[in-house]
Amino acid sequence: MSKPLLIEDQAGVRTLTLNRPDAFNSLTVELKEDLLAALEAAAADDSVRAVVLTGAGKAFCAGQDLKEHMALLAAGDPAPLSTVDKHYNPIVSAITGLPKPIIAAVNGMAAGAGASFAYACDLRITASTAKFLMAFANVGLTADSGAAWTLPRLIGYGRAMEMMLLAKPVDAEEALRIGMVTQVVAPEDVLSTAQALAQTMAAGPTTAYAKIKEAMLASAGGPLAEGLAVEGRTQAEAGATSDHKEAVDAFVAKRKPNFTGK
C-alpha cells in the first residue's frame, strides 16, 4: 500500500506530495497526521531551507475525504467533529509559521481545505488547468483551515465572500488576475517551476525570510503600532545574523553573497 504522503529532499528543498491520486488527494485522518508531522519535521531540520507542497495525479487536494468522514460519523466516532481543532488548524499554523519559505505547486483542482492549504503558503505556482473552489456551503459547512482569514487578504473581502457563498470555482487565469496566485504555467511545468523557485530561495537568507513572514503575519490584522513593534524586533534579529553581514560584505566587495541561513 502506497504512503499517503511522499517526502523528497533535493538541494535544500523538501517536497511534500499528497499521495492519494485516486481520491484527488482528499484528506483522511492518516494524511492529515502525516502532513502535520512532516511540516513540523521540516521546520526543525536545518538542512531544509525551503518547502514545496503539491499533489500527486490530476488534483492538488480536494479537501476533506467525505467518505471517511461519513463512515466515522455512522460508526459513532466523534473524531470528524473535532478535526478542525485537532488537524486543520495545527496544519495551517505549521504552514504559516514555518520559519522558511513554503511554495504550493497547485497541479490541479484545489478545493475546500486543500485550497485553504494553498492560500496559507507563501507563494502559489499554478497549472493553467487548475481551479480553486470554496465548496464548504455545498455540504452545509462554513470555511475552515484559515480560509476566512487568508483568502480575503489575498483577493479582498468581496471576492472572497462570493467564492464562499456561491461556491463558484475560480480558474487559474482569473486567480492570477485577482492576485490569488503567483504564477501560472503549463501543467507539466508546475512542480519543476515551484522547485526551481524553492531552490533559489533555499540559497537565500532563510532567517531573513522567516522574519519577513513573522512581520507580515503580525501586521496582517493588527494595528500599525503592533506592526511597527514587530518590524523593529525582527529587523534587529535579522541584522544580527551572519547572512546580513555577508550581504553587506558582498555589496562592498561587488560580489554575489553566499548565504548560509544563519
Task: Report DSSP state, residue 241.
Answer: S
Give domain status of residue 261, yes or no: no
Q: Contact, 98 vs 39, CB < 8 A?
A: yes
Q: Residue 150's domain is classified under what CATH number?
A: 3.90.226.10
Which runs of E-coded beta strand occur in 11-157? Answer: 13-18, 50-55, 59-61, 102-106, 109-111, 123-127, 131-133
Compute CA 92 distance to the chain's CA centroid, rounded to the nearest angstrom. 8
Is there a domain that residue 132 lies in?
yes
Taken in order 13, 61, 26, 93, the sign of the CA dihedral is positive
The answer on 170 and 157 residing in a single domain is: yes
Q: How many CB atoms lie within 10 A of CB 180?
A: 23
pLDDT on residue 108: 98
- Based on the fold, state whether residues 139 and 67 are members of the same structural domain: yes
Q: How many residues does the chain have?
A: 262
**In terms of DSSP bridges, do strands 5-10 and 13-18 run parallel, antiparallel, or are they unpaired?**
antiparallel
Cα separations in angstroms, 146 against 30, 46, 120, 182, 189: 20, 27, 7, 19, 28
| pLDDT at residue number 231 | 83
The pLDDT tens digits along the chain (262 residues) read 689 999 999 999 999 999 999 999 999 999 999 999 999 999 999 999 999 999 999 999 999 998 877 787 777 777 767 889 999 999 999 999 999 999 999 999 999 999 999 999 999 999 999 999 998 898 888 899 999 999 999 999 999 999 999 998 999 999 999 999 999 999 999 999 999 999 999 999 999 999 999 999 888 878 888 888 888 898 888 888 888 888 877 778 888 888 888 8
232 and 154 share one domain: no
